[in-house]
Amino acid sequence: MKYQFVATCLFGLEKFVAEEIDFLRYKRLETITFEGDITAIARCNIWLRSAERLYIKLGSFDAPDFTSLFDGTNALPFENWISKDDAFPVKGHSVHSKLKSIPDCQSITKKAIAARLSNEYGIEWFCEEGVKYQIEFFIMNDIVSIMIDTSGTALHKRGYRPVSGEAPLQETLAAAMVKIARPREDVIFWDPFCGSGTIPIEAALIMTNTAPGLFRSFVSEDFYDIPPYVWKNAREEAKSLIKPNTEFISYASDIDPKMVSTASENIERAGMKKYIKCFCKDALQIGKGGMKGTLVCNPPYGERMMTPRQVYKLYSDMGRCFSALERWQIYILTSDENFERHYGKKADKIRRLYNGMIKCNYYQFFRPTGNGSSKYSITKKTDISE
């Protein structure tokens, strides 16, 4: 049997989610909406790196008023998933639609589902003590989509980062930043503002082909209609596809010893210690060390850390320091719209991304600079962490 699914994500990451759905060989109906069998619930929750949640889409309909919302919801086959003892809480969002009151929409949707199940099971009262099926509605331009959450805890919470820095970067965004930077085995990958280690960890997970959700659980593991072997097979498949022998090496450094300690713990918890060197170092003291490299970082924005003046000075100092990395590719995420002016160089490409609700730009510097013509390569004797 085929089902429709929606993999939601942060703004700007839709392309990456679509690529991940294609990689899993499911048929996309729209950018992040696709079709698959029951195994897609397990495989997508385990494998999607850039998505926030995976939903079963029960249906869509026009709803310019509450009567339409009730009738449209009531027409959907909730009994295919929800049994008479199960819980079915409702939440949702409304954007650019006539139905603006979220509490009223929640109440009407809940009543419509209860009426449908009451008619199906011949009961008037629901104890809701069984499996939890979180119902979510999304209303956009008066079009309602009704969905069931299969993830539970958001997918960006991989499980390796119980403690974050002062301004944490979501793991899903970090994974997309890494993909844009195109890490390679023969090129050092370095985050000199590593914080809790998210970017280097996501890079190592990608380069070892380790599924990000392999070692965590999902709310849909309790769903009656998903046989346990579906999850067992999906996890065994993911384990079999890990590439432990990659020669990829990532550097994770930070000026704060406490953050280096936190990052080291997260790296070990993620099982990526073999592929990441974590150490204390001032980002402005980086030297090229006779190698070719890719630098990916999320320096302070001035939103929650440092004053704007301190941040602008840091960006200026970064520009001077990183200009010595002649053939390095440099990728920097910041919310500062005037970053290029402070940094002292125009980016080769800029991509709009969101870190939670903070609108950011991902500045990409990948064209060679300087007069040198030689190619740098890694040598086993080189260790710039010293």
Q: Which residues, in sequence order, are bridge partners of residue 76?
A: none
Write down the pLDDT at residue 149.
98
Q: Find, among 69, 72, 17, 91, the residue nearest to 47 by Cα.
A: 17
User: Could you tell me the pTM of the whole model?
Assistant: 0.91
Q: What is the mean pLDDT of residues 349-375?
A: 78
Q: What string of DSSP letters covers 250-294?
A: EEEEES-HHHHHHHHHHHHHTT-GGGEEEEE--GGG---TTS-EE
Q: Is the pLDDT of residue 302 over 80?
A: no
Give residue 112's pLDDT band: very low, low, confident or very high (50, 70, 90).
very high
Confirm if 49 and 16 have CB atoms less than 8 A apart. yes
Give residue 288's pLDDT band: very low, low, confident or very high (50, 70, 90).
low
Lowest-pLDDT choice from 73-82, 283-292, 294-303: 283-292
- For β-strands 3-8 and 53-62, DSSP reports them as antiparallel
Contacts of 230 (CB under 8 A, 6+ apart): 38, 39, 41, 42
Write down the pLDDT at residue 377.
34
Q: Is the pLDDT of residue 372 over 60?
A: no
Give residue 94's pLDDT band: very low, low, confident or very high (50, 70, 90).
very high
**By three-state DSSP, how is residue 99 classified?**
coil
Average pLDDT, the chain: 92
CA distance 333 to 339: 10
- In tens, the pLDDT along 46-93 reads 999 999 999 999 999 999 999 999 999 999 999 999 999 999 999 999
Give residue 307's pLDDT band: very low, low, confident or very high (50, 70, 90).
confident
Lowest-pLDDT choice from 122-131, 197-206, 280-289, 342-351: 280-289
Write down the pLDDT at residue 371.
41
Q: What is the mean pLDDT of residues 163-167?
A: 57
Q: Is the pLDDT of residue 224 over 50?
A: yes
Give residue 158's pLDDT band: very low, low, confident or very high (50, 70, 90).
very high
- Which residue type, as a one-letter code, is found at position 194? C
Q: What count of other Cβ atoms lies within 10 Å of the Cβ of residue 103? A: 7
Q: Find, among 116, 121, 122, the residue nearest to 135 by Cα.
A: 116
The percentage of residues in the chain with a pLDDT greater than 70, rounded to a whole number, is 92
- Structural domains of the chain sorted by starting position, each given as residue range(s) with its CATH number in brackets: 3-149 (3.30.2130.30), 171-210+239-365 (3.40.50.150)
Give residue 382's pLDDT band: very low, low, confident or very high (50, 70, 90).
very low
Write down the pLDDT at residue 374.
34
Give residue 312's pLDDT band: very low, low, confident or very high (50, 70, 90).
very high
Instruction: From residue 87, give the alpha-carbon distance in Å to each of 81, 92, 223, 266.
Output: 11, 16, 12, 35
Give residue 375's pLDDT band: very low, low, confident or very high (50, 70, 90).
very low
Q: Is the pLDDT of residue 230 over 70?
A: yes
Q: What is the mean pLDDT of residues 337-361?
A: 94
Write down the pLDDT at residue 272.
98
Q: Is the pLDDT of residue 215 over 50?
A: yes
